[in-house]
Structure 1
Amino acid sequence: MATTQTQRLGIFAALALVMAVTRLHHFDALPDASMAVFFLAGFWLRGSGRWAFPLLMALAVLVDFLVITGAGLDFWSHYCVSAAYWFLLPAYGALWLGGSWLARHQLGLRLPTLGLAAVVLLVSESASYLVSNGSFYWLSASVPAPRSFAAWFVNLGDWYLPFLLTTAEYVALGAVLHVATALLARTLRQAGARPLSH
């Protein structure tokens, strides 16, 4: 939704910072905001996907690398890094596409936009979760054999709601910032359009 390249770069930098800070401390009190960052980036940076999406992906991998190797572990043998790790690309892509689709179809600062945003977020979060969780369950050596669809559904259920809630909380915070910024910009435009009284 940013209109100038400077605005886009500023938004990108802020989102990258949020992702880096929360991803560095993935299991601390501040949950990882990566999923929400990709959704919000798709919304705010629609049309900049050729550079913004790959840079955010590279940042996510870099942070993971720094955290894992910083703990004295080998990146490629860590339990989170397997063939499934590559599926983060479509998982994050689903969130980016959801945010981008919402930006194209939103109706401005109106109540129907809020309902549309909730539905689009739920669909893109669910698709992202299905890809990330499913790929980890079926492809990672960290999941003991034998594997079954019944066990996978239990695993899906264990993490689905926390995943949805964490992402939704961050997106809600982004939405509040978006509305506040839009209202401030509108107020400043209206104030600038009024003639000065003497």
Structure 2
Amino acid sequence: MNLNRYLQVEMLPIPLIAAMILTRFHHFGDVLHLPDASLAVFFFAGFYRNKMLLGFLLALAALIDYLAISHGTSGWCVTPAYVFLIPTYAVMWLAGRYCANLAVFKATELSLSLGSMGVLALTASVAFVISNGSFYVFSDRYTDMSWLQYFERVAHYYPLYVGSTLIYGIVGIALVKLVKAVVATQDGRKTIS
């Protein structure tokens, strides 16, 4: 199995699962906790192209949320709108799947181009609209508030929502490049010996 296939098929799910477990308990982060990496996790899971991984990560997210709420985290966001996290994360997964076909995201030419980060930012923005719009419509928490009032209220979350996803995207791509460089260096040493 070549390196690109090995990184994508064998190794990718492990750090994605770890990132979800380590960051999902505190959605916005604080001094002691990193912000939630779920959007970036689903984006990178799209590279894997395995619908079973998508289903597993959706179930893992729900399990983590359940455990967090049962151990004292607020359950404010768990309403009938919670089910709309499925299309929210599916959009990220589909964007990752799309980007896996782009030359910029091919494992042989993985780079931090403006275009690739643009796709990630655009998709995170769509995910923000899906998750927040569905919360407004289906949560029954804002029955006396107009759409404009609601979006004025949640707009301050948007930069962190998209920004943390972009940071995780940059870190994820940089880590893949680092692993590939280390492996290539070791392979080069083996052929010289």
TM-score by length of structure 2 reads: 0.84
Matches within 5 A, 1:119-158: 119-142=118-141, 144-158=142-156
Across the aligned residues of Structure 1 and Structure 2, the Cα RMSD in angstroms comes to 2.3
Given candidates 2, 5, 9, the residue that maps to 1:3 is 5
Relative to structure 1, is the Cα distance of residues 2 and 53 closer, same or farther in structure 2, using a 3 angstrom cutoff? farther
Which one has a bigger Cα radius of gyration? 1
Structure 1: distance between partners of 2:101 and 2:145: 41
Give the Cα separation in 2 of the matches to 1:63 and 1:9.
24
Question: Which of 171, 174, 184 is 1:173 aligned to?
Answer: 171
Write the letter of the residue equivalent to 2:98.
Answer: W
CA contact (8 A) 1:129 1:160 kept: yes
1:59 corresponds to which residue? 60
SS at match of 1:24: coil
Query: CA 1:88–1:172 in 2, change beyond 3 Å: closer, same or farther?
Result: same
* Aligned counterpart for 2:99 among listed residues 96, 99, 102: 102
Partners of 1:22 and 1:131 lie apart in 2 by 21
User: Which sections of structure 1, spanning at least 5 residues, go unmatched?
Assistant: none
- Pick from 32, 37, 40 the counterpart of residue 41 of structure 2: 37
CA contact (8 A) 2:26 2:35 kept: yes
**Residue in structure 2 matched with residue 91 of structure 1 by the alignment:** 88
Q: Determine the C-alpha separation between the residues in 2 that align with 1:72 and 1:17.
A: 20
Query: Residue 19 of structure 1 corresponds to which residue in structure 2?
Result: 20
2:76 is aligned with 1:79: yes
Q: Percent identity?
A: 31
Q: Is the 8 A contact 1:94 1:124 kept in 2?
A: yes
| Closer/same/farther in 2, CA of residues 91 and 2 from structure 1, 3 Å limit | farther
TM score, norm. by length of structure 1:
0.82
1:21-62 Cα offsets, whole Å, 9 max, x none, are: 21123344321111111112213x1x21x2100000000000
Aligned length: 185
Task: Compute the displacement of 1:70 (Å).
Answer: 2.0
User: Could you tell me which amino acid in structure 2 is paired with residue 115 of structure 1?
Assistant: L
Query: Structure 2: how far apart are the matches of 1:72 and 1:56?
Result: 20
Q: Runs of 4 or more off by more than 6 Å in structure 1?
A: none
1:185 — aligned with what? 183
